[in-house]
Structure 1
Amino acid sequence: MTSSATDSAPGLRERKKRATRIALSRAALRQTLEHGWDKVTVEGIAAEVDVSVRTFFNYFSSKEEAVMADTEEHLERVLAALRARPADEPILVAMRNALVGAMDFPDDEAREWVDQFRLAKREPSLLPYFIARQEVVEEHLVAAIADRTGTDAEHDLYPTLVATAASGAVKAAMRTWSTRRSPLPLATLITEALEQLGRGLPQPR
């Protein structure tokens, strides 16, 4: 085996693991939407992806965790885009550009976020998993904002305030988009929400 083949093996293995995780999560979400939460089982999710129940539990501790899972790719794209923004760009502008720039996927994929959002509100047992996922996302954002602004993620209020405010703006855009109160694409609504936040939320005229 050549050195290059050896070097590429871990990358391929990791991609396969990630693909399996995504497939399990999407199967859980699809089955929930089609059949109802009470009819979804770990066995059914595993069977759709053609893996064993044991393999399912290598990725998730429960069907709740699976249906509320988010792929690491989305978060990684946002964080990479945020780090790549010009150093002199105001933080909310940088976050807006990073979030929208990282949303280079179709509305079908955006609907998965919204479907999870709706399910978390509808099914009490899912809400803690949705909140836990949001906490993880915000923790990563806080760290990235602290690095960018030269603040302390543990002791300074600023990075946490920016992260939670931006997350709230994204949730507001998702809620508006999911209820079809606006015909605009989700990325456009997120842009508008973060722009209004950056202007200090002026009262509409």
Structure 2
Amino acid sequence: MDTALGLRERKKAATRQALHEAAVRLAMELGLDRLTVEAIADAATVSRRTFSNYFTSKEEALLYGDRSRVEELLGRVRARPRSERPWAALTAAAHDGSPDQLAPDPEWVARARFIRSHDVLLAQQVATFASLERELVAELLSRMPEAQRSPTRARLMAACYLASLRVAVQEWLDRSAATPLATVLDEVLAEAGAGFA
């Protein structure tokens, strides 16, 4: 029974990933305006109804990779030593998963630039980050010393952190990727974290 459930979950994950990859590929080829749910479903060789079982829109399918990365980031924060102060744990978790090379995968860079060029995708990206903010707030509260434990402070820290990650990528792209992303991330997180140290 457990093996069957594991297989079913793996098949679902593979279908979701296939739909995401098809959405990204087609968006880059056709542009966002010409991208349709039907085209994504066809490219992933599934029905329109199957698409709807996984995503509510083409934008959600396109940004699924961002959601996955934020979920992985949350896992890395949870895995940090409990003795670390909240902002230190957030900063370390960001570095645990950031590309530390001068020129990350060109496809990733192209996708980042594509998303940045469409307001509707930027808005969806912000919504994606915000949807996981609550879980991050809970993790931060559990790490705060008793005297500093405040839901408002945890919400501010989580929101500032997630916004900082987006700003770091945007700043890095503005610099034409001439500086390593990890360096830009350091700069942005240091500036943003000054009030949370």
Alignment TM-score, normalising by the size of structure 2: 0.80
Q: In the TM superposition, what is the alpha-carbon distance from 1:54 to its structure 2 partner?
A: 1.5
Aligned to 2:3: 8
1:49 to 25, 44, 47: 44
- Partner Cα distance (1:28, 1:191) in 2: 32
- Partner Cα distance (1:100, 1:113) in 2: 21
Q: What letter corresponds to residue 69 of structure 1 in structure 2?
A: Y
3-state SS of 1:184 partner: coil
Aligned to 1:79: 74
- Report % sequence identity: 37
Identify if the C-alpha distance between structure 1 residues 180 and 104 changes in structure 2 by more than 3 Å, giving closer, same or farther: closer
Say whether residues 1:179 and 2:171 are aligned partners: no
Report the RMSD for the aligned CA atoms in angstroms: 2.8
Q: In the TM superposition, what is the alpha-carbon distance from 1:159 to its structure 2 partner?
A: 0.6
Aligned to 1:3: none
Say whether residues 1:149 and 2:130 are aligned partners: no
1:166 to 161, 164, 180: 161
Q: Which residues of structure 1 form unaligned runs of 5+?
A: 1-5
- Partner Cα distance (2:67, 2:123) in 1: 19
Q: In the TM superposition, what is the alpha-carbon distance from 1:188 to its structure 2 partner?
A: 3.3
Q: In the TM superposition, what is the alpha-carbon distance from 1:118 to its structure 2 partner?
A: 0.9
Aligned to 1:97: 92
1:134 to 129, 134, 137: 129
- Partner Cα distance (2:60, 2:162) in 1: 21
Q: Which residues of structure 2 form unaligned runs of 5+?
A: none
Q: In the TM superposition, what is the alpha-carbon distance from 1:129 to its structure 2 partner?
A: 2.5
Q: What letter corresponds to residue 23 of structure 1 in structure 2?
A: A
1:39 to 34, 38, 51: 34
1:52-67 map, 5 Å:
52-67=47-62
Q: Which has the higher contact order (CA 8 A, sep 6+)?
A: 2
TM superposition outliers: structure 1 runs of 4+ over 6 Å: none
Q: In the TM superposition, what is the alpha-carbon distance from 1:141 to its structure 2 partner?
A: 1.5
- Alpha-carbon contact 1:67-1:116 (below 8 Å) kept: no
1:69 to 64, 68, 77: 64
Q: In the TM superposition, what is the alpha-carbon distance from 1:112 to its structure 2 partner?
A: 6.8
Q: How many residues were matched structurally?
A: 190
